[in-house]
Structure 1
Amino acid sequence: MRIAVPNKGRLHEPTIELLERAGLHLERTADRQLYADTVDPDVSILFARAADIPEYVRDGAADLGITGLDQAVESGAVVEHVEGTDADGAGDGPGASGDEALVDLLDLGYGSCRLVLAAPEDGEIESVADLEGRTVATEFPAITRSYFETVGVDAEIVTVTGATELTPHVEMADAIVDITSTGTTLKVNRLAIIDEVLESSVRLFARPDVVDDGKVQQVTTAIESVLAAEDKRYLMMNAPTANLAAVKDVLPGLGGPTVMDVEADANGDGMVAVHAVVDEGDVFSTITDLKSVGASGILVTEIERLVE
């Protein structure tokens, strides 16, 4: 089985890190290689341009692909949502048919950005309707055409390959559709957001015919276990048996805390060891509350993977 991943750019390193944390350690043989084996003899990695990954998966060159939702939609894929995952389907991609579907297995939680419509500040363009008969520059022509068809505005779409935000200032376009994460670049170039076209993040995609494959499900579960462990912490502590009910009330836990008997202390008082998974944001207040009900020896550790 092959997994297509970005070969460079801002998505490359976090993708490789995620695969490593999921247990798919890469066996590199060269700096500019096209393929890499993993510790699993049945899984290999294919390095490709982020924009090409949807096509690699649809054509069968790869079984799974990791890239942005924006790239999948721009490629013309019909992005379908799998029930039980956190990923949101994007509906029909521009110009795609059901036979070309990619299944959105997981939202990987990084590479978040928005594809927005923007125009010069204090200019004539203040709404989408103002772009009737005007020119819009973008690196995402398929998404942009689909957007304007949806809103019922006839705009001329000009495809550019970079520096999109400069085109209104050199009279190449009246507005742009471009990617933004924080909006800083748009502000620096004196562009104001008029509308949001698409919200995107990095996703794990598959072809429909491999979704039920055992190895695909194994890889998906491994990656999902890493995502589930993020922002979670494992708490271990000792507590008097008499105070166990109060300790349980403090701990939200993941399905309830685990409780184990321990050897009695010097005074002969009964003690238990209590283990629980809590949200990282709750750790500070939880420790304070635990100490107030007699818990001691509290240990907080990170969780590498969590299979729910």
Structure 2
Amino acid sequence: MEIKIALPSKGRISDPAVKLLSKAGIGLKDTVNRRLFAETYDDQISVMFTRAADIPEFVADGAADLGMTGMDLIEEKEARVKVLEDLNFGRSKLVLAAPEESEIKKLSDIKPGSIVATEFPNLTEKYLKTNGIPVKIVELSGSTEIAPFIGVSDLIADLTSTGTTLKMNHLQIVDTILESSVHLITNPDSYQEKNEKIEEIRTGVRGVLDAEGKKLVMMNVDEEALDEVKHAMPGMTGPTVSQVLSNTGVVAVHAVVNEDEVFQVVNRLKKIGARDILVVPIERII
């Protein structure tokens, strides 16, 4: 039973998608030569590389069992897919933007019949209709930012992650249509027929996501200081304690700690008397 996973062939979400699979234990056998199809170290799993915009339809049609692509593309294509996980990367917003000198400063300033240039005609038209603003959509496949300045449109709907490109092109955000990030999706029929294997993949991916921003803190400490240690370590389910056989009265303690708490936690532990403190990266939490 083969599982085919569709990944973006290029762009800012391609490498993070490949790295996520690798961390989940599903690494590519050849990471140098990017071909249309690639084998993984699991004989039942293969990868196909394609345009991010095509992945929702490929998964919906069953050409791929799983895919990683942006929610903006999934919603734009209205693809019949099952969303499994938000992968927490590739975050962006689909926004309405107008030239800085335009009178359009907010959603209510957009007049019925205004022209909007965008690569996302369905999402844009649906959003504006929902807000009672019928518009004319001009679909462009690139260079959307220039459209208002050459008389093609009154405003644009485009993806932005920081807003820097819009500012560089003297555009200001009028409203946000959709907040997006990369998601793991599956074909509904594949999910039924290949559920066990797909859930194994999902578990591997979920383990990587759960491990993000976490460290394993390990140390030795005198047994009588255990109560203080427990209060000092904000572990996921409390610290784990085990006996150190070579030292009577000494125990080994470890716990998973949020990365932004490690500095404070380690200093508290040292004051309590903890020693041999190790801070270790975590690859996955299952």
- Offset at residue 30 of structure 1 (A): 7.9
Question: Could you report, residue by residue, the CA deviation over 1:24-63 in whole angstroms, capped at 9, with x for unpaired residues?
Answer: 1112398352111111111110111100001100111011
One-letter identity of the residue aligned with 1:159: E
Which whole-Å CA distance do the structure 2 matches of 1:233 and 1:25 have between them? 23
Q: Mind listing any 5+ residue stretches in structure 1 that lack a counterpart?
A: 78-100
Listed as ranges, the gaps of 5+ residues in structure 2 are: none
Structure number with higher relative contact order (C-alpha < 8 Å, ≥ 6 residues apart): 2
Over 4 Å off, 4+ runs = none
What is the one-letter code of the residue matched to 1:173?
S
Question: Aligned equivalents of 2:53 and 2:270: distance in 1?
Answer: 52
- Alignment of 1:167 with 2:147, yes or no, is yes
1:182 and 2:184 equivalent?
A: no
CA distance in 2, matches of 1:124, 1:134: 12
C-alpha distance after superposition, 1:180-202 (max 9, x if no partner): 00001111111111100000000
Shift of the 29–276 alpha-carbon distance from structure 1 to 2, 3 Å rule, reads closer
Q: What is the aligned counterpart of 1:239 among 216, 221, 224?
A: 221
The answer to whether the aligner puts 1:203 opposite 2:183 as a matched pair is yes
Residue 258 of structure 2 is matched in structure 1 by 279
Which residue of 2 is the match for residue 153 of structure 1? 133
1:65-118: per-residue Cα shift (whole Å, max 9, x none)? 1000011111122xxxxxxxxxxxxxxxxxxxxxxx211111111100000001
User: Of the candidates 253, 256, 274, which is equivalent to residue 238 of structure 2?
Assistant: 256
Of residues 268, 272, 285, the one that matches 1:289 is: 268
Structure 2 residue 74 is matched with structure 1 residue 72: yes
Letter in 2 for 1:231: G
Q: 1:217 to 1:150 in 2, by over 3 A?
A: same
Change (3 A) 1:136 1:29: closer
RMSD: 1.4
- Asked if 1 retains the 8 angstrom alpha-carbon contact of 2:62 and 2:190, the reply is no
The aligned counterpart of 2:204 is: 222
TM-score, normalised with respect to structure 1 = 0.88
CA distance in 2, matches of 1:242, 1:134: 73
2:69 is paired with a residue whose SS is strand
* Aligned-partner Cα distance in 1 for 2:171–2:160: 12
For the residue of structure 2 that corresponds to 1:115, the secondary structure is strand
The alignment partner of 2:35 has SS state of coil
User: Which residue does the alignment assign to 1:305?
Assistant: 284
Report the CA distance between 1:256 and its aligned residue. Answer: 1.2
Asked whether the equivalents of residues 136 and 174 of structure 1 are also in contact (C-alpha less than 8 Å), the reply is yes
TM superposition score normalised by structure 2: 0.95
Instruction: Using the TM superposition, give the Cα deviation of residue 20 of structure 1 relative to its aligned residue in structure 2, in angstroms.
Output: 0.8
Measure, in 1, the Cα distance between the counterparts of 2:243 and 2:157.
62
